[in-house]
Structure 1
Amino acid sequence: MLKKLQQLQAIIASRNSENLGDIAILKSDFFGAKVSPTVASKLQPVVGYYPVIDLNQLSQYPQGSFGREYANHMRANQLEPLNISPELEDIAKRNLFALRYLVTHDIFHVLLDFDTTYAGEIGVLAFAATQNYSKSLQIGLCLARLLYPILAPQQIQEIFANLAKGRELGKKADFLLGYRFEEHWEEPIDDVRKRLGLP
């Protein structure tokens, strides 16, 4: 109980952090996001890997590059990367799945070509659930499938089309969560997609 109270205090304190990833990783630590041993082994290439993402730098890359497309997506949707403070390194290390999923969520939007509407979100969620990242994502997909059509009835067609597309992409693509995307910002986005098995 004392540990949970300390975690809750850390979440509240992190609201003043400049790094938006801090509160997200602390919440994941509080709720105890878990993955299977199979997924944990596939995440070994990204253990301790969470470079800071600088949108200003990525905006300087050529048009059509992976980094530039990601920066354009983030700016168009008024989003900031979920960077993690060095002080939370220990928490990040023990929550590898949560950290990697949080950091790569918007990267997935760009690579899979899903926008940030309910229809776009369910596409990314369907992809991640199909890749078997965690049971919690599969549960989340079941809930989203029920709730999103109610929350956005004007998007019903797109929601179900993206649900199918996300599942199809999830079956075809490599295991993306363990990929070091941040080392490929300068490459053409189509080349990155092709390498990862994305059409």
Structure 2
Amino acid sequence: MVDTNTLTLPENASLFTRLRIATKILKLVKGNEGNPVYGQTLNACLDYDVYESLIQKLQHSEDWRRMLSKHPSLEAKDLDLAALERLPEGTLGHAYARYYRDNKITPFETTLKLKNDIDFVAKRYRETHDVMHLVTGYGTDVMGEIELQAYVQGNLGIWTAALIVLFGTLGQLKGRQAGVDTSEYLRRIWAAYRRGRASPLFLDFWFENHWETPVATVRARLCAPAELMN
């Protein structure tokens, strides 16, 4: 059994320490990709500077400043999916609850404690993954997952997302893992990246306050039109 204390990212960790811990996690994560300790710590190791930059970019946002003080959560323990599914069809909450039921998965969970603002950014980024599938319209198949990662890289500059796109592209070149031909794959990835670049940052959006809002309305607010990127 791995001692998770050796995977703990110290506050104000040096680049060397972050790379050392990231290397350990990359050796362990295969076959255990859903592990909350591995996932969040890997994000923090590779994207520490990115998260710092995002905090600076969002500091003018009142919603973001409120987030840093309130720490809203989309973790499983903070969601009532049954209540959300009773909301009218077409609303974000109803679609979100159905997303989990239809895909036979459960919401994000973590055991990591938040020590600072960077920990919160890392957590918030990971727990918005599923709701961003709904908002962007990208599917949960291989192609849709890579499209969402390309969108996130364009929008937030997350290096973890860029690595996933890179490995996905290498897999596609070896055997069409995304189920489309390579020219279509590359076109869609580039379009998703450009769409992310053209869209406002989504990290300061309180999804929790918009469960009764139509998905289409949230999409129009957060995402550049996909058709303009083709």
Instruction: Please classify the TM superposition score into its range, dividing by the shorter chain length.
Output: 0.7 to 0.9
Provide the rounded CA distance (Å) in 2 between the counterparts of 1:162 and 1:24.
Answer: 29
Summarize the alignment of residues 21-100 of structure 1 with structure 2, pairs less than 5 Å apart. Answer: 23-25=35-37, 27-29=39-41, 32-33=45-46, 34-36=48-50, 37-42=52-57, 45=64, 46-47=67-68, 48-51=71-74, 52-84=78-110, 88-91=112-115, 94-100=118-124
Instruction: Determine which structure has the larger helix proportion and give its number.
Output: 1
Corresponding position of 1:13: none
Residue in structure 2 matching 1:121, options 142, 145, 161? 145
Provide the rounded CA distance (Å) in 1 between the counterparts of 2:154 and 2:92.
Answer: 24
1:170 paired to 2:196: yes
Residue in structure 2 matching 1:191, options 201, 212, 217? 217
Q: SS of the residue aligned with 1:138? A: helix
TM-score, length-normalised on structure 1? 0.76
- Cα deviation for residue 178 of structure 1 reads 2.4
Q: Percent of aligned pairs with the same residue?
A: 23
Q: Deviations over 1:107-154 (max 9, x none)?
A: 111111111111000110010111133223223322222224536263
Provide the rounded CA distance (Å) in 1 between the counterparts of 2:49 and 2:73.
Answer: 19
Please tell me whether the aligned partners of residues 146 and 164 of structure 2 are also in contact (alpha carbons under 8 angstroms). Answer: no
Deviates more, 1:128-137 or 1:29-38: 29-38
Q: Which runs of 5+ in 2 are unaligned?
A: 10-33, 226-230
Taking a change above 3 Å as real, the CA distance of residues 84 and 56 of structure 1, as seen in their structure-2 partners, is farther
Q: Deviations over 1:41-96 (max 9, x none)?
A: 245613222252222121011000011111112211111111445xx443585422
Provide the rounded CA distance (Å) in 1 between the counterparts of 2:161 and 2:114.
Answer: 24
Provide the rounded CA distance (Å) in 2 between the counterparts of 1:144 and 1:92.
Answer: 32
TM-score, length-normalised on structure 2? 0.67
Corresponding position of 1:102: 126
Provide the rounded CA distance (Å) in 1 between the counterparts of 2:181 and 2:223.
Answer: 28
RMSD: 2.9
1:5 paired to 2:17: no
Please tell me whether the aligned partners of residues 131 and 171 of structure 1 are also in contact (alpha carbons under 8 angstroms). Answer: yes
Deviates more, 1:103-112 or 1:167-176: 167-176
Corresponding position of 1:140: 164
Provide the rounded CA distance (Å) in 2 between the counterparts of 1:151 and 1:178.
Answer: 36
Q: SS of the residue aligned with 1:90? A: coil
Residue in structure 1 matching 2:177, options 136, 152, 165? 152
Q: SS of the residue aligned with 1:154? A: coil
Taking a change above 3 Å as real, the CA distance of residues 138 and 151 of structure 1, as seen in their structure-2 partners, is same
